[in-house]
Amino acid sequence: MIDAHTHTKFSFDGKSSAVDMAERGKELGLEYMAFTDHCDRDYAHIWRYKIVRQLNVKKYVAAIKEMKEKYPFLALGIECGYSELAENDYLKMIPFSEMDYILNSVHTVDGLDCYTASYFSGREKKDAYGKYLHKVLKSLDAKYPFDTVTHIGFVRKNAPYADASMPLAEYIDVIDEILKKIIDKGKTLEVNSNIKYKDFMPTAEILKRYYELGGRSITFASDAHLTARVGELYDVASETVRDIGFRYWTVYRERKPLHIEI
Ligand SMILES: [Zn+2]
Ligand SMILES: [Zn+2]
């Protein structure tokens, strides 16, 4: 069992300490667990979100490096919130050579957080989802290094529509472009279970499409922000991807990919 995306109290929204999270990982017998605390410089460039506490990268890196000695299954990761304005910040502030693993994610579009009501205000679903997906496509050309593309479909999490689904057929042009680019660039696609609907980010339908296009590199992510949710839905996710044809998870140590049987 693995969990390649978890948050600790180093993140502004983390609820459990790094030690408690690692102890939970140990209890569950995780073969691999990545701490991927938020580096949200995307918010730092939006005035109304400047209040979000930013990660102390130096303290975080030093603390997790030390913890890895006691918890060898741990990996030192970071989640970069993509925005064109934040790219140079990441290049300057993240010691990429010391990291095991880098996540690239999209949380903001048009200067608004896709998790908040203001993003959806006055927008049709097609426009709200389409703009988000185009931002994900753009994030794949980020200037900074990264390994995995995180939670595609994040925009659905708090969407106010009666039907918040993102059917592949309606967005296939941009989704195909994203999936092909992930494959061409040798990146990994994350299967993120932190969503209230009975599926994942991305959905099984999109994961199947990725497989059809030749994609094989996926990883499992609970995106837990507290101990109780570490590894959540791992079994369901494993079964879903095994049914599609995937045979291994890809995880990273010192930025090098390793395969772990599903
Ligand atoms: Zn995220
Ligand atoms: Zn996260």
Over residues 106-137, the pLDDT tens digits come to 999 999 999 999 999 999 999 999 999 999 99
| 60 Cα–ligand 2 center, Å | 15
Q: Which ligand is nearest to the CA of 224?
A: 2
What was the pLDDT predicted at 43?
87
User: pLDDT digits over 29-79, tens only?
Assistant: 999 999 999 998 888 888 777 778 899 999 999 999 999 999 999 999 999
Is pLDDT above 80 for 181?
yes
What was the pLDDT predicted at 48?
76
- Superfamily for 2-261? Metal-dependent hydrolases (3.20.20.140)
| 151 Cα–ligand 1 center, Å | 7
User: pLDDT digits over 28-37, tens only?
Assistant: 999 999 999 9
Two tokens at 68?
């890895």
Is pLDDT above 90 for 196?
no
Q: Which ligand is nearest to the CA of 37?
A: 2
| 81 Cα–ligand 2 center, Å | 9
**In the beta sheet, which residues pair with residue 261?**
248
- Antiparallel, parallel or unpaired: β 148-149 and 188-192: parallel
Percent of the chain with pLDDT over 90: 92
Q: How far is CA 153 from CA 59, 158, 171, 226, in A?
A: 31, 11, 11, 22
Measure the CA–CA gap between 123 and 125, rounded to whole angstroms. 6
| 167 Cα–ligand 2 center, Å | 23
Q: Which ligand is nearest to the CA of 114?
A: 1
- Average pLDDT (152-164) is 96
In terms of phi and psi (left: phi > 0; alpha: psi -120 to 50; beta: otherwise), the region of 245 is left
Which protein residues have their CB within 5 A of the ion that is ligand 2? 79, 223
Q: What are phi and psi of 129, to 5 degrees?
A: -75, -40
Percent of the chain with pLDDT over 70: 100
| 244 Cα–ligand 1 center, Å | 25
Q: Any idea where the domains of the chain sit in the sequence?
A: 2-261
